[in-house]
Amino acid sequence: MREPVQTKAQLHLELFRITPADLSTIRTVGAEMISGLETLKDRFYEWLKTQPEFELFLSDPVTLERVETAQVEYWAQFIAGVVNDEYIASRERIGQTHARIGLSLRIYHAAMNTFLSLLFRMVDETSFQEDTKAQAKVAIAKLSHMDMAIASETIAIVMNERVAAQNRMLLELSTPVAQIWRGILLLPVVGMIDSKRAQEITTAVLNKIAETEARIFILDISGVAVVDTAVANHLVKITKSTRMMGCESTISGVSPAIARTIVDLGIDVGGIETIATLRGALASAFERLKISTDSPHR
């Protein structure tokens, strides 16, 4: 018989070694602490108001009131000692919110440390025996560490997704393959061409060829700083890839310095058409496709 799949809450509880006895102790002590949450909030904000982030994120009274209410609800849920998937989801939402507003991990962990210290003080102020208080502090510390881990991991995931999205945007900007005329694609390259960028260019160009059924691709390298053996090999591979899709490539922007470098290094650029200027490459493409410059752009 297949074993039942553990819930997210069960997985987290097991990972942080939070036992049913721990949660029971939190519930028992928390029942007496619930009435002191307003005091806890006041003590917490005494500390928070000394931090620069307070003015940055909480200077608006409406925002401050909303955040205070949400935090009291968070603390009430914490000391209730009931950890289920909704509890885990609420901690993930905290991480998502912090990532969205740009709150640093430094201040988040400092706030959680302050919160933990205040909870310990509240435990000391309860009427329970010292051994029960000690057990409660251990259980609270475990649950607090679990909360921090969930929120921190969520923040990292959101930030990584944001960076990935930015990288995709930069990739699109760095490889702007444009259809400048029916059957003609153009990509001006600026900066360095390494293996990674050559692969990105190839992917972008081949996708555009498939989309437009272009017959000529012009790669303008007038903005490329250095052309060495590695760069030349990348250019050859790019043009060979386009040829496989029935699209001939022309490299324009070949300066006298680049031409001398290619000759001095003995680089074999194969059957690639190279032209000094972009204007010359366009004229060549129009001639090969028998396009009159008076024809409408399609």
In sequence order, what DSSP letters do the residues of 142-180 get, joined into one string?
A: HHHHHHHHHHHHHHHHHHHHHHHHHHHHHHHHHS--EEE
Which pLDDT does position 174 carry in this prediction? 61
Residue 293's Cβ-count burial label (10 Å; 0-12, 13-18, 19+) is: exposed
Which pLDDT does position 236 carry in this prediction? 83
Residue type, 271: G
Residue-averaged pLDDT of the chain: 87
- 26-40, 48-62, 163-177: segment of lowest average pLDDT: 163-177
Q: In sequence order, what are the residues at sequence separation of 6 or more whose Cβ sits closer than 8 angstroms to the Cβ of residue 64? A: 58
Q: In what order do the strands lie in the sheet with 184-191?
A: 178-181, 184-191, 216-224, 248-252, 273-275
Residue 70's Cβ-count burial label (10 Å; 0-12, 13-18, 19+) is: middle
Mean pLDDT of 148-159: 93
Q: In sequence order, what are the residues at sequence separation of 6 or more whose Cβ sits closer than 8 angstroms to the Cβ of residue 279? A: none
The answer to whether the beta carbons of residues 250 and 220 sit under 8 Å apart is no
Mean pLDDT of 130-138: 96
Which pLDDT does position 80 carry in this prediction? 95
pLDDT in tens, 56-114: 788 788 888 888 898 899 999 999 999 999 999 999 999 998 888 888 889 999 999 99
Q: How many CB atoms lie within 10 A of CB 166?
A: 10
Q: How far, CA to CA in Å, does 93 sit from each of 73, 100, 116?
A: 14, 10, 20
Q: What letters, b where the CB count within 10 A reaches 16 and e where it falls short, cover 267-277? A: beeeebbbbee
Q: Where are the beta strands (DSSP E) in the chain?
A: 178-181, 184-191, 216-224, 248-252, 273-275
pLDDT in tens, 216-256: 999 998 888 777 778 888 888 888 899 999 999 999 998 88
The answer to whether the beta carbons of residues 8 and 88 sit under 8 Å apart is yes
Residue 269 has pLDDT above 70, yes or no: no
Domains and CATH numbers, the chain: 8-169 (1.10.490.10), 178-288 (3.30.750.24)
Q: How many CB atoms lie within 10 A of CB 112?
A: 16
Per cent of the chain over pLDDT 90 is 52
Residue 294 has pLDDT above 80, yes or no: no
Mean pLDDT of 51-56: 83
Mean pLDDT of 181-200: 84
Which pLDDT does position 87 carry in this prediction? 96
Which pLDDT does position 189 carry in this prediction? 85
Banded pLDDT at 298 (limits 50, 70, 90): very low
Which pLDDT does position 194 carry in this prediction? 77
Per cent of the chain over pLDDT 70 is 92
